[in-house]
């Protein structure tokens, strides 16, 4: 572990500490006349319900060819910016119309940091995945973070059309830090299956997670 | 002292019960009596036993007086509260006290596939001419007490109703009567296989022709859940029970348009309970039940042993009466039974000697009586508009058609069939001979003339491959707007906005990217599904009414009549689909959201009878149905068994019954005459189910996924046999008629 890494992660942490928000821009999906339903500073709700099927707060309506399209909020937070001059005006597709300031949760911060740090291994096909027998035994015996993998290791068994195919790891060597799938669950092509952490970064990652857990409410 | 304590406990129990039934301690002077009771109870060690006994006696007299007053002023909602009281008797009490012995079948207590449905083989004995005669019965009913935590309040799950059906079949195999006890606020509204609605439909369908006497008795009859075991030869009802199309709370929420999560005002619920006519007296007047079994003051409780004796007598008597009606030799026993009916005191000799075993002829008579009973049921709310002469003419026409079709199909058609068979054999034989002789010459002739094959033609002479042309026949008025609409799947599947004239014109209301079907008016189907000018409507003069005189409903009906230009939510007509003659019953959304009342039920039954008479396939196209019309109360509920009976008789006679669901189809009709069809299909993007999301959330406490009722999920659960594209409806329907109906369509 180099001193440089530590400093970088400190910077990342302080960045989140200074501004623990994500800024979600809302853009016009196509041209039309826009009418706002929220103002700056309003609290907004994202998708809710057990199946995320209840729509969030109505932000604005875009009317094109007498077709009123409501734009609902997809994340909770506060309206931090509204391009007020556009209210009642014709907007172009893709034009930024407002920004939602979303307070990051502990889990979201950790996920964002890990995404920068860990090496993801993506599903090569849409299929069901299982850990290879050897890996599974080691995980059961020692826990997943004690299992290291390197390029060429047989890590998964891909079950597709009743055929089991071994999947070999490609990428930087390290330990399996995060598992993003459940054995037997169908995964889409390109979805990350595991996040691998190079050995020299393990201590830093653990330290960051501990600090985030301790410091964020 | 112990005796005094017991009496005090009893007084407290009685006072609490009165306030519970009346919904408040403030009713009468319950609260002041309660205060006096507390004072007496607290002074138990301060005054002498004699004085205490006198005070208790005074309190008891006051409470008896209160109970009598409460009984006199019982409202509909009071009866609902009586039925829901944990002190009320339940099925297990009946099994213990009415029957000699019983063995629970299909599980016991919580170790059961559904503990809210209890099935038991029981023996019941009666003293006849000094001898004890014991007979076997199958007891099937809902249980809501004795283990309340797993009984689910008597709400049977679909698999519970399936269990009931299984043991009804056992009763049929063994030839023993069924005693059905209805103690349910409604069915548990889940769609998981076998599905609440579909299983109720299967139960009713099977019960319509179950070859054993069925006696049912209602304590709490909540709509579809009650009908799942309630289609019987004799329908009894406890005097303090209720039988309703919907719970008063549910009815009030619908009528008062109360939003989810908001509290429904108690006055609204009370008045809804009155309007729904849910009491035993109301139901007897509406002829939805046959007899009332009297209960003690403010309803029977678990220790009402004299009442259980009465129940036993009534159940045996009802079974005797049903069985006796099937016997040829019954005059004196009938007379004796009539004499007994008026007796209030039950002696040991109250029963007469009737064996419950039926032979084939008696079974046939039993089924015929059941059929007639349900055919006549719920006719209170029907009114045919038209003159006396017009009605007479239509009766004459109906009778003459009946004779015509009987002669045509039963007499001539069978001879014609035989002659055809003989002719077919003769021509086949001669063809072989001719082919051997003329074959070589014909092939030489064909080679030189190059004769071409003519295209295949269908019944009615229509070309099989001819495409249906939409745009030159009828265009939806929805297409007259110059605007675009967004497909609901646009975010997920990237559908582009659709220009309305294109969507409702050329595309037939279907998103060209994902195939989502936007709702279209029912007239579109009338124009595109059937052959041009082939529709001949019948019974159009039957008028939807307000049989329970619900306030304001008359006005709402008039609005619907004015809006649609029709008199009910069901259209029945003869039509042709590519030359195939069909009888169609169509429920459509514009008239009271396609709800079914007595008029719609009668129209459906007459359509089924017509299809049977004319030997034509019967199509039920459901543009939309919101269920049974709640303003008609139990008259609406009885349309479920009535219409299912008509379907069963039509199918048993050899008819082909096809159901196609579109848009939204929910509740009673799906749980009866629609869900019982062997051939059910759905148009894409439609929703089919028993209860809507809000009712499911309220009942089960669990939220459901947004696509829970989708046609695709209904297909996955096995409720329907296929999903059709609206643009291929005509082709698919014709194909179904041909493949499932066979060559002669009337396939047996």
Rounded to two decimals, the ipTM of the complex is 0.72
Name the minimum distance, in Å, from the CA of A42 to any CA of chain B.
Answer: 25
Judge if B494 and B615 occupy the same domain: no
Judge if B138 and B58 occupy the same domain: no
Judge if B201 and B265 occupy the same domain: yes
Q: What is the pLDDT of residues A128-145, one digit of tens each?
A: 899 999 999 998 888 888
Structural domains present in chain A: 21-103 (2.40.50.100), 108-215 (2.40.50.100)
Beta carbons of B260 and B60 less than 8 angstroms apart: no
Beta carbons of B336 and B320 less than 8 angstroms apart: no
Contact yes or no for A66 and B484 at CB 8 A? yes
- Which residues of chain B are within 8 Å of residue A53 when distances are taken between CB atoms? 705-706
Choice between A13 and B269, residue whose per-residue pLDDT is larger: B269
Judge if B494 and B530 occupy the same domain: no
Q: How confident is the model at residue B450 (pLDDT cuts 50, 70, 90)?
A: low
Question: Quick one: pLDDT at residue B221?
Answer: 94
Nearest to B708 by CA among B696, B722, B724, B720: B696
Question: Quick one: pLDDT at residue A9?
Answer: 66
Q: What is the mean pLDDT of residues B409-417?
A: 73
Q: Is the pLDDT of residue B322 over 50?
A: yes
Q: Which two tokens stand for residue B245?
A: 């199309």
Question: Quick one: pLDDT at residue B342?
Answer: 65
> Please, which residues have CB within 8 angstroms of residue B161's CB and are 6 or more apart in sequence?
B117, B187, B194, B196, B199, B200, B203, B228, B229
Nearest to B581 by CA among B618, B549, B554: B618
> Which residue, of B346, B376, B406, is where some domain finishes?
B376
Q: Is the pLDDT of residue B459 over 60?
A: no
Q: What is the mean pLDDT of residues B77-82?
A: 95
Q: What is the mean pLDDT of residues B622-634?
A: 95
Question: Quick one: pLDDT at residue B712?
Answer: 96
Q: From the list B481, B483, B703, which residue is nearest A49 (CB)?
A: B703
Asked if the structure places residue B317 within a domain, the reply is yes
Asked if the structure places residue B160 within a domain, the reply is yes
Give whole-number Cα distances, B369 to B301, B373, B462, in Å.
35, 6, 44
Judge if B512 and B524 occupy the same domain: no
Q: How confident is the model at residue A101 (pLDDT cuts 50, 70, 90)?
A: very high
Judge if B154 and B257 occupy the same domain: yes
Judge if B542 and B591 occupy the same domain: yes
Q: Is the pLDDT of residue B470 over 80?
A: no
Name the minimum distance, in Å, from the CA of B725 to any CA of chain A.
Answer: 26
Q: Is the pLDDT of residue A22 over 60?
A: yes
Choice between B594 and B335, residue whose per-residue pLDDT is larger: B594
Q: Is the pLDDT of residue B232 over 90?
A: yes
Secondary structure E strands in A15-160 = 21-27, 32-36, 43-44, 58-64, 67-72, 77-82, 90-91, 96-103, 119-122, 127-131, 148-149, 154-160
Asked if the structure places residue B409 within a domain, the reply is no
Rounded to whole angstroms, how far apart are CA atoms B420 and B262?
A: 70
Q: What is the pLDDT of residues B85-107, one digit of tens each?
A: 999 999 999 999 999 999 999 98
Choice between B466 and A145, residue whose per-residue pLDDT is larger: A145
Q: Is the pLDDT of residue B387 over 80?
A: no
Q: What is the pLDDT of residues B139-151, one digit of tens each?
A: 999 999 888 778 8
Structural domain boundaries, residue B9: 2-73
Q: From the list B486, B705, B706, which residue is nearest A69 (CB)?
A: B486
Rounded to whole angstroms, how far apart are CA atoms B547 and B287?
A: 13
DSSP string, B575-588: EEETTEEEEEEEE-
Residue count of chain B: 748
For residue B609, give the DSSP letter: H
Judge if B62 and B120 occupy the same domain: no
Rounded to whole angstroms, how far apart are CA atoms B316 and B606?
A: 35
Q: Is the pLDDT of residue B688 over 90?
A: yes
The CATH number of whichever domain residue B210 belongs to comes to 3.90.226.10
- Which residues of chain B are within 8 Å of residue A66 when distances are taken between CB atoms? 481-484
Beta carbons of B18 and B72 less than 8 angstroms apart: no
Residue B267 half-sphere exposure toward CB, CA atoms < 13 A? 0
Q: Is the pLDDT of residue B457 over 50?
A: no
Asked if the structure places residue B709 within a domain, the reply is yes
Name the minimum distance, in Å, from the CA of A91 to any CA of chain B.
Answer: 17
Give whole-number Cα distances, A127 to A149, A169, A186, A187, B694, in Å.
22, 16, 5, 6, 36
The residues pairing with A72 across neighbouring beta strands, listed in sequence order, are A58
DSSP string, B416-462: HHHHHHHHHHHHHHHHHHHHHHHHHHHHHHHHHH-PPPPPPB-GGG-
Judge if B249 and B154 occupy the same domain: yes
Question: Quick one: pLDDT at residue B462?
Answer: 43
- Which residues of chain A are within 8 Å of residue B499 when distances are taken between CB atoms? 65
Q: Is the pLDDT of residue B348 over 60?
A: no
- Which residues of chain A are within 8 Å of residue B486 when distances are taken between CB atoms? 67, 69
Question: Among A158-172, B195-209, B359-373, B626-640, where is mean pLDDT lowest?
Answer: A158-172
Question: Quick one: pLDDT at residue B744?
Answer: 67
Q: What is the mean pLDDT of residues B26-50?
A: 87
Question: Quick one: pLDDT at residue B282?
Answer: 95
- Which residues of chain B are within 8 Å of residue A65 when distances are taken between CB atoms? 482-484, 497, 499
Asked if the structure places residue B437 within a domain, the reply is no
Q: Is the pLDDT of residue B343 over 70?
A: no
Rounded to whole angstroms, how far apart are CA atoms B603 and B600?
A: 5
Judge if B295 and B314 occupy the same domain: yes
Mean pLDDT estimate for chain A: 88
> Which residue, of B348, B376, B404, is where some domain finishes?
B376
Asked if the structure places residue B419 within a domain, the reply is no
Chain B residues bordering chain A (beta-carbon distance below 8 Å)? 481-486, 497, 499, 703, 705-706
Judge if B115 and B159 occupy the same domain: yes
Residue found by looking up tokens 């009642």 in the block: A88
Identify the closest residue of chain A to B487 by CA–CA distance.
A69
> Please, which residues have CB within 8 angstroms of residue B701's CB and are 6 or more apart in sequence?
none
> Which residue, of B517, B549, B574, is where some domain finishes?
B517
Choice between A206 and B660, residue whose per-residue pLDDT is larger: B660
Asked if the structure places residue B438 within a domain, the reply is no
**Number of compact structural domains in chain B:** 4
Mutation choice for A interface testing from B497, B501, B693, B709 by most A CBs within 10 A? B497
Give whole-number Cα distances, B560 to B524, B573, B594, B633, in Å.
20, 20, 11, 19
Residue B351 falls in which region: left (phi positive, over 0), alpha (psi -120 to 50) or beta: beta
Asked if the structure places residue B472 within a domain, the reply is no
Contact yes or no for B483 and A66 at CB 8 A? yes
Judge if B18 and B136 occupy the same domain: no
Nearest to B745 by CA among B597, B578, B553: B578
Q: How confident is the model at residue B469 (pLDDT cuts 50, 70, 90)?
A: very low
């Amino acid at each position: 572990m180099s001193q440089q890494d530590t400093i970088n992660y400190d910077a990342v942490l302080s960045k989140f500490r200074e501004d623990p928000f994500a800024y979600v821009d809302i853009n016009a999906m196509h041209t039309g006349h826009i009418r706002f339903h929220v103002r700056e500073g309003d609290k907004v709700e994202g998708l809710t319900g057990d199946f995320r099927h209840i729509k969030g707060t109505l932000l604005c309506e875009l009317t094109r060819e007498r077709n009123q399209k409501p734009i609902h909020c997809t994340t909770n937070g506060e309206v931090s910016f509204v391009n007020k001059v556009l209210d009642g005006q014709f907007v172009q597709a893709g034009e930024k119309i407002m920004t939602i300031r979303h307070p990051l949760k502990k889990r979201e911060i950790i996920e964002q940091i890990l995404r920068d740090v860990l090496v993801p291994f993506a599903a090569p096909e849409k299929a069901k995945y299982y850990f290879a027998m050897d890996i599974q035994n080691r995980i059961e015996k020692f826990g997943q973070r004690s299992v290291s993998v390197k390029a060429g290791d047989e890590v998964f068994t891909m079950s597709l059309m009743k055929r089991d195919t071994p999947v070999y790891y490609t990428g930087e060597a390290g330990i399996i830090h995060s598992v993003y799938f459940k054995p037997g669950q169908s995964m889409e092509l390109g979805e990350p299956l595991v996040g691998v952490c190079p050995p020299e970064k393990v201590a830093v990652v653990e330290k960051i997670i501990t600090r985030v857990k301790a410091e964020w409410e | 002292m112990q005796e005094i304590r017991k009496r005090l406990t009893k007084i407290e129990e009685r006072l609490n019960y009165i306030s519970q039934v009346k919904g408040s301690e403030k009713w009468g002077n319950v609260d002041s009596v309660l205060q006096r009771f507390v004072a007496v109870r607290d002074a138990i060690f301060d005054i002498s036993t004699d004085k205490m006994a006198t005070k208790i006696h005074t309190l008891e007299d006051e409470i008896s007086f209160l109970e009598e007053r409460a009984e006199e002023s019982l409202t509909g909602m009071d009866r609902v509260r009586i039925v829901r009281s944990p002190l009320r008797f339940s099925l297990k009490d009946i099994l213990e006290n009415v029957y000699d012995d019983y063995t629970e079948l299909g599980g016991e207590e919580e170790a059961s596939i559904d503990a809210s449905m209890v099935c038991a083989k029981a023996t019941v004995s009666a003293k006849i001419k000094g001898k004890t005669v014991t007979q076997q019965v199958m007891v099937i009913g809902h249980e809501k007490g004795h283990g309340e935590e797993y009984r689910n309040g008597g709400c049977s799950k679909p698999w519970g109703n399936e269990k009931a059906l299984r043991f009804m079949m056992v009763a049929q195999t063994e030839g023993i009567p069924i005693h059905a006890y209805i103690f349910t606020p409604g069915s548990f509204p889940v769609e998981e296989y076998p599905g609440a609605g579909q299983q109720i439909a299967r139960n009713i369908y099977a019960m319509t022709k179950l070859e054993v006497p069925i006696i049912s008795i209602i304590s709490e009859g909540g709509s579809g859940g009650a009908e799942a075991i309630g289609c019987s030869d004799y329908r009894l009802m406890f005097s303090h029970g209720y039988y309703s199309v919907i719970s008063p709370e549910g009815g009030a929420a619908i009528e008062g348009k109360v939003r989810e999560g908001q509290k429904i005002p108690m006055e609204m619920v009370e008045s809804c309970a009155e309007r729904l006519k849910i009491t035993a007296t109301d139901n007897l007047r509406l002829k939805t039940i046959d007899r009332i079994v009297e209960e003690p003051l403010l309803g029977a409780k678990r220790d009402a042993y004299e009442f259980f004796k009465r129940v036993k007598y009534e159940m045996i008597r009802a079974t005797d009466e049903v069985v006796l009606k099937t016997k040829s030799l019954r005059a004196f026993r009938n007379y004796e039974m009539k004499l007994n009916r008026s007796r209030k005191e039950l002696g040991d000799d109250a029963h007469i000697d009737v064996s419950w075993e039926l032979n084939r002829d008696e079974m046939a008579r039993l089924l015929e009586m059941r059929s007639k009973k349900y055919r006549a049921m719920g006719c209170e709310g029907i009114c045919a508009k038209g003159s006396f002469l017009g009605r007479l003419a239509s009766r004459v026409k109906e009778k003459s058609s009946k004779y015509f079709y009987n002669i045509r199909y039963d007499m001539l058609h069978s001879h014609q069939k035989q002659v055809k068979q003989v002719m077919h054999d003769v021509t086949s034989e001669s063809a072989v001979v001719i082919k051997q002789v003329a074959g070589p010459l014909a092939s030489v002739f064909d080679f030189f003339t190059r004769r071409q094959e003519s295209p295949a033609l269908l019944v009615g002479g229509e070309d099989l491959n001819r495409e249906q042309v939409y745009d030159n026949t009828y265009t939806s008025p929805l297409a007259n707007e110059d605007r675009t609409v967004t497909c609901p799947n646009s975010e997920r599947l990237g559908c582009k906005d659709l220009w309305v004239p294109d969507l409702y014109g050329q595309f037939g209301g279907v998103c060209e990217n994902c195939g989502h079907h936007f709702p279209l008016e029912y007239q579109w189907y009338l124009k595109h599904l059937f052959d041009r000018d082939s529709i001949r409507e019948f019974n159009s003069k039957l008028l939807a009414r307000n049989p329970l005189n619900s306030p304001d409903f008359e006005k709402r009906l008039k609005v619907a009549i004015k809006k649609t230009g029709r008199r009910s939510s069901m259209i029945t007509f003869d039509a042709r689909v590519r030359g195939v003659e069909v009888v169609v019953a169509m429920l459509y959304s514009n008239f009271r959201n396609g709800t079914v009342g007595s008029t719609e039920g009668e129209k459906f039954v007459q359509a089924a009878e017509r299809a049977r008479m004319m030997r034509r396939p019967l199509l039920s196209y459901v543009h939309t149905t919101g269920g049974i019309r709640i303003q008609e109360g139990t008259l609406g509920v009885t349309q479920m068994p009535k219409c299912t009976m008509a379907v069963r008789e039509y199918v048993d006679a050899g008819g082909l019954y096809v159901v196609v669901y579109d848009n939204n189809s929910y509740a009673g009709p799906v749980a009866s005459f629609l869900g019982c069809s062997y051939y059910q299909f759905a148009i894409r993007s439609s929703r089919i189910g028993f209860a809507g999301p809000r009712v499911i959330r309220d009942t089960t406490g669990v939220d459901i996924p947004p696509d829970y009722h989708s046609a695709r999920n209904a297909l996955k659960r096995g409720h329907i046999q296929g999903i059709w594209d609206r643009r291929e409806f005509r082709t698919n329907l014709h194909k179904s008629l041909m493949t499932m109906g066979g060559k002669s369509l009337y396939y047996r």
